[in-house]
Structure 1
Amino acid sequence: MNLKTTLLGTTFQFKHLKEVMAKANEEKSGDQLAGISAQDAKERIAAKLVLSDLTMADIRNHPLLPPEIDEVSRVIEEGLNEKIYTELRNWTVAELREYLLRQETGNDEIRRISRGLTSEMVAAAAKLMSNLDLVQAASKMEVTSHCNITIGQKGVLSGRAQPNHPTDNIQGMKAALFEALSYGIGDAVIGINPVIDSADSVKNMLLATKEVMEKWQIPTQNCVLAHIKTQMRAIRQGAPADMVFQSLAGTEEGNRAFGIDVALLDEADALIAREGTGTGPNLWYFETGQGSELSAEAHHGIDQVTLESRCYGLARKYKPFIVNTVVGFIGPEYLYDSKQVIRAGLEDHFMGKLQQLPMGVDVCYTNHMKADQNDMDNLAVLLSAAGVNYLIGVAMADDCMLNYQSTSYHDIATLRELMRLRPAPAFEQWLVKMGIMDNGRLTPLAGDPTLFM
């Protein structure tokens, strides 16, 4: 494995694959914080040159985190199709990139080769891509999933209704939910982040959302984003959960910081299949985001793009209904400004889609980050062009419970109109029946939450 190159008279010798992967990243404040980033643009280009000539076998044969000591690595290894990998093992990272971008390479071909790629190989390809490359490659990939309805079809942009409330007040939550529904948002999920992480609170929210769904015959699915152990207690007490949620990290140690491991995820998977109210077969909602492993001091010297890709390698074991990278939520320590957030959002969406995950993105930023709402508008347009499965909608783009900025309900409605996209088919039929949408466009009734009061 050659880790040496000469660039404009300067020779660069990298110690190991982990260093090449980190220094080939586009600039990220998280990698700088970890002390693993390229010192300058010249070293970054040299690392990209070295990485481009490495083969899939080089990457697999030199694990960044050996399976013997990390269960996420074991999950990724066990999920690999050996026959397809054998066909790809001598491809270089540059050849993988070229194959994905080639005009004649379609969704079926990409879906097939994805089974022979590890998460690290996927991350390597992302590092060699421009933002436009990431949009183009991802736009070829269609990943559909079904809980109570199907989302992810070409031409569909779904929305998660996120009617959070700072005190978990049910009426306040319903008011925000009614506004979301009036704009045609909620086909991905009615998903609430609770303030109180208790089984009783989770059960009450699931009952309330299910009551709204049944009263208005809304074809969607519900979820409360408490810790998985809390959701499991609520389900065992009879809470009507269509699917279960959990945040993931890309290392075993990082997941331990979240209070989870593969055994617990397996237990929850069996529980939601046995006692959940969703039709299935896809009954999971996972959230990720670059930097979580570093914040837990569980990154093992691996860069945050590669670790994010490993999250997707773990997620695909459970065939989720939706996966969401909360791209700018952690803060400027990991993604310093809008340029880094936009890049990360496109990387995450591409890496998740290439691993056959139904990817959404929370186009968001924290208030102490060097970004504003115009930057988020730019990323949302790019992701819509890239074929993102869904975006997050919160009232006025301002989450009053989590204290961060995201996209609003009417932002998603505007993106659908601008990019000629539509809600999930079953949800659109319901919107037509309610008089909120006609022939793919919102009617004058849209945006009026009193329709549901």
Structure 2
Amino acid sequence: MNLKTTLFNTTYKFKDIKDVLAKANEKKSGDEMAGIAASGARERVAAKTVLADITLEELRNNPVVSYEKDEITRVIQDSVDEEQYKKIKALTVGEFREFLLENDEDKIKEIRDGLTSEMIAAVTKLMSNMDLVYAAQKICNTAKCNTTIGRRGTFSSRLQPNHPTDNPQGIMASLIDGISYGVGDAVIGLNPVADTIESVSDVLKVFNDFTRKWRIPTQNCVLAHITTQMEALKNGVPIDLMFQSIAGSEIANKDFGISVALLDEAYELMKTKKSSKGPNFMYFETGQGTELSSEGNNRADQLVMEARCYGLAKRYKPFLVNTVVGFIGPEYLYDGKQVIRAGLEDHFMGKLTGLSMGVDTCYTNHMKADQNDLENLAMLLLAANCNYLMGIPCGDDVMLMYQSSSYHDIATLREISDKRPIKEFEKRMEELGIMKNGKLTRNAGDPSIFM
């Protein structure tokens, strides 16, 4: 295995595959803070050159965290379809990039289960932003909870009615406002302030009562810690989707208070007690930089660790996965350019892994980014056939204190692309006079419909 190259009369030699992967990554403040990034553009190009000639077999044999040390590595490696792997293991990363760009969805899906997360991350590093959009838009990943997300021609949204004190009236005001704009077909999902069984149960019951009363075809979720949701579920509280933030290493997941065994237990519990109908009932959130913030990156770069999150998520056949791409802050993604790149990378990697993938196109207020960066990313993701984005009142989350996409953004993106909400949801919006022929009516934005 060759780990060196000569460019401009300078020889660049890398320690191992992990080092090549880190230095081949696009410029990220998180990798620089970790001390593993390329020293500059020349070393980055040299690393990409070396990476292009590494085979997929070599990547499988050299995971960034060893099989013996890390349970996420074991999940990823043990899930590989060996027959599919045999078809592609001799390809170099450069050849694999050409395969993805040249072939159609069916050909890509024929080999997808033969991939590891390191392979997916590696090819992502060789792709331009346009490559990431072009390859991702080929892949259509559907999932079914109460409704089916991800069909071609649809573009969905998560209604996020967060409130700084979990006040039920405040939550419902945001919820009703969002529904009146045709937002929420992916999920109605609240980030709670209080992670208590009682508070989480109360919100879930309010959501369930509303969607039943008004016959809104969607899914409900409160994004509390998985153990809190499990206790609520055992008490008979209706849960359509069970949520958890996940990371790409065993160390980082311990920091979240989770393990593969706990996720397995939650999955089995949902199988028997969930209130939803379909086979996909888990929801995961990720984001580049998570592992470094918990000292669990194992000296690997943040893109590779993010890809490993998707390898873990795949085990549970989730209905939704999204990267909260700019939420952690400038320590990991410094500015709008880095956020846009990371959003496209994450979406592509999730799609190639086989997930129903969405993105929270967001940034924190202390980041060198603005609304135009957010909107640019949203439009690029729309072209990439992203399954869903967030819908937040005015795009300003009053509880989490960050900027994201608004109810109005979702409607605008649908009109730009001529895409529709999930079919059953759109039909109900038409019955309520909120939408007609895929567009909002004059009644849209009037919450008195539900009063």
Look up the SS of the partner of 2:114 in the other structure.
Answer: coil
Code of the residue aligned with 2:276 in structure 1: it is G
Cα drift, residue 452 of structure 1: 1.1
Number of the residue aligned with 1:123: 121
Number of the residue aligned with 1:322: 320
Code of the residue aligned with 1:78 in structure 2: it is D
In the TM superposition, 1:166-177 aligns within 5 A as: 166-177=164-175
Worse overlay, 20-29 or 271-280: 271-280
Number of the residue aligned with 2:376: 378
Code of the residue aligned with 1:318 in structure 2: it is Y
Cα drift, residue 393 of structure 1: 0.7
Cα drift, residue 237 of structure 1: 1.2
Q: Give, in whole Å, the separation in 1 of the partners of 2:363 and 2:439.
A: 29
Q: Give, in whole Å, the separation in 2 of the partners of 1:109 and 1:268.
A: 34
Are residue 230 (structure 1) and residue 228 (structure 2) matched? yes
Q: Give, in whole Å, the separation in 1 of the partners of 2:176 and 2:110.
A: 41
Number of the residue aligned with 2:81: 81
Number of the residue aligned with 2:346: 348
Number of the residue aligned with 1:43: 43
Match among 139, 142, 145 for residue 141 of structure 1: 139
Number of the residue aligned with 1:11: 11
Match among 281, 288, 291 for residue 289 of structure 2: 291
Are residue 205 (structure 1) and residue 213 (structure 2) matched? no
- CA-based RMSD of the aligned residues comes to 0.6
Look up the SS of the partner of 2:339 in the other structure.
Answer: helix
Match among 319, 331, 335 for residue 329 of structure 2: 331
Look up the SS of the partner of 1:115 in the other structure.
Answer: helix
Number of the residue aligned with 2:178: 180
Match among 400, 403, 416 for residue 402 of structure 1: 400
Deviations 1:25-80 (A, max 9, x none): 00000000000000000000000000001100111112211111100000001110
Number of the residue aligned with 1:259: 257
Code of the residue aligned with 2:209 in structure 1: it is E
Cα drift, residue 179 of structure 1: 1.0
Deviations 1:197-225 (A, max 9, x none): 00001100000000110010000010000
Look up the SS of the partner of 1:391 in the other structure.
Answer: strand
Code of the residue aligned with 2:432 in structure 1: it is M
Code of the residue aligned with 1:440 in structure 2: it is G
Look up the SS of the partner of 1:377 in the other structure.
Answer: helix
Q: Give, in whole Å, the separation in 2 of the partners of 1:25 and 1:218.
A: 43
Q: Give, in whole Å, the separation in 1 of the partners of 2:25 and 2:306.
A: 13
2:189/2:222 contact within 8 Å kept? yes
Number of the residue aligned with 1:65: 65
Deviations 1:393-440 (A, max 9, x none): 100000000010000011011000011111011111111111111111
Q: Give, in whole Å, the separation in 2 of the partners of 1:28 and 1:155.
A: 33
Look up the SS of the partner of 1:325 in the other structure.
Answer: strand
Number of the residue aligned with 2:105: 107
Number of the residue aligned with 1:90: 90
Q: Give, in whole Å, the separation in 2 of the partners of 1:399 and 1:442.
A: 23
Q: TM-score, normalised by structure 1?
A: 0.99
Number of the residue aligned with 1:366: 364
Number of the residue aligned with 2:239: 241
Number of the residue aligned with 2:54: 54
Are residue 427 (structure 1) and residue 417 (structure 2) matched? no
2:51/2:122 contact within 8 Å kept? yes
Are residue 281 (structure 1) and residue 284 (structure 2) matched? no
Code of the residue aligned with 1:252 in structure 2: it is E
2:24/2:45 contact within 8 Å kept? yes
Match among 301, 308, 311 for residue 309 of structure 2: 311
Cα drift, residue 108 of structure 1: 1.6
Deviations 1:256-280 (A, max 9, x none): 0000000000000011111110112
Match among 143, 148, 151 for residue 150 of structure 1: 148
Look up the SS of the partner of 2:244 in the other structure.
Answer: strand
Code of the residue aligned with 1:70 in structure 2: it is D
Look up the SS of the partner of 1:318 in the other structure.
Answer: coil
Deviations 1:216-252 (A, max 9, x none): 0000010000000000111111111001000000000
2:411/2:439 contact within 8 Å kept? no
Match among 347, 355, 358 for residue 357 of structure 1: 355
Code of the residue aligned with 1:354 in structure 2: it is L
**Count of matched residue pairs:** 451
Number of the residue aligned with 2:413: 415
Cα drift, residue 107 of structure 1: 1.4
Q: Give, in whole Å, the separation in 1 of the partners of 2:117 and 2:153.
A: 27
Deviations 1:170-218 (A, max 9, x none): 1110110111101111000000000000000110000000011001000
Look up the SS of the partner of 2:158 in the other structure.
Answer: strand
Match among 249, 271, 284 for residue 269 of structure 2: 271
Percent identity between the aligned chains?
Answer: 60
Q: Give, in whole Å, the separation in 2 of the partners of 1:449 and 1:363.
A: 26
Code of the residue aligned with 1:51 in structure 2: it is L
Q: Give, in whole Å, the separation in 1 of the partners of 2:201 and 2:115.
A: 40
Q: Give, in whole Å, the separation in 2 of the partners of 1:435 and 1:40.
A: 56
Q: Give, in whole Å, the separation in 2 of the partners of 1:111 and 1:37.
A: 32
